[in-house]
Amino acid sequence: MNMEEKEPTPRPTASKDEVALELMRFIASTTGMGKTSSGAGFAGKAPKTPEEQVDALLQLYERCRAVVGKS
């Protein structure tokens, strides 16, 4: 059997918690969630404290778990 004919090794199924975590990471990284610096020339809300950032990420994770759990 050639390398080209070899069947791909099946990937283990990720748990719903792992899928929710990956979804949370994707959303946080694409939206800049958790970053403390603001862009030059933009005067928005004051940066959140580390505790507020953690709470926001935990809330996002719970929302992701709820969405993944529906599937």
Q: 20 is written with which tokens?
A: 């929710």
Q: Determine the pLDDT at residue 59.
A: 94
pTM of the model: 0.65
Q: Determine the pLDDT at residue 27.
A: 93
**Could you state, in chain order, the average pLDDT of each consecutive group of 10 residues for the chain (71 residues)?**
59 84 93 68 68 92 94 70
**Nearest C-alpha neighbor of 23 from the set 68, 69, 55:** 68
Tally Cβ neighbours within 10 Å of residue 17. Answer: 13
Q: Determine the pLDDT at residue 18.
A: 93
Q: Determine the pLDDT at residue 14.
A: 83
Cα 48 to chain center, whole Å? 19
